[in-house]
Structure 1
Amino acid sequence: MILVAIVAELLEEYTVLLARVLEHLFHEAPFPRRIRFLILRSLPFVSSTPPLLRAPA
């Protein structure tokens, strides 16, 4: 049971990291703005984490 909890925690951290990386990639992707918005909204955990890298001003 402890092993299941450890694996679940690792998978959750991996999912958050993967969502942040995908958010960064799709933020810079050459898609129309509306499609990028729909893709970014569908990613899990994105709204609760800060952006991976800030865009240059």
Structure 2
Amino acid sequence: MILVAIMAELMEEYTVLLARVLEHMFHEAPFPRRIRLRLLRSLHFASSNPPLQTAA
């Protein structure tokens, strides 16, 4: 049971790190703004920043 808890913690940290790397990569990516915002919004589960809002 302890091993499962340790693995869960490691996976959570890995997921957060991976999301930050992807967020940085997509933020600087040469995609159209609309696609970039959609990609960044999909990473909100691990981001410390609130989801991006677009002007309507």
Q: Same fold (TM over 0.5)?
A: yes
% same residue: 79
**Structure 1: runs of 5+ lacking an equivalent:** 50-57
CA RMSD of aligned residues (A): 1.0
Residues matched between the structures, number:
48
**Structure 2: runs of 5+ lacking an equivalent:** 50-56
Q: Which runs of 4+ in 1 moved over 4 A?
A: none
Counterparts of 1:42 and 1:11, CA distance in 2? 19
Q: Deviations over 1:1-57 (max 9, x none)?
A: 0000000000000000000000000000000111100000001312x25xxxxxxxx
The TM-score normalised by the length of structure 1 is 0.79
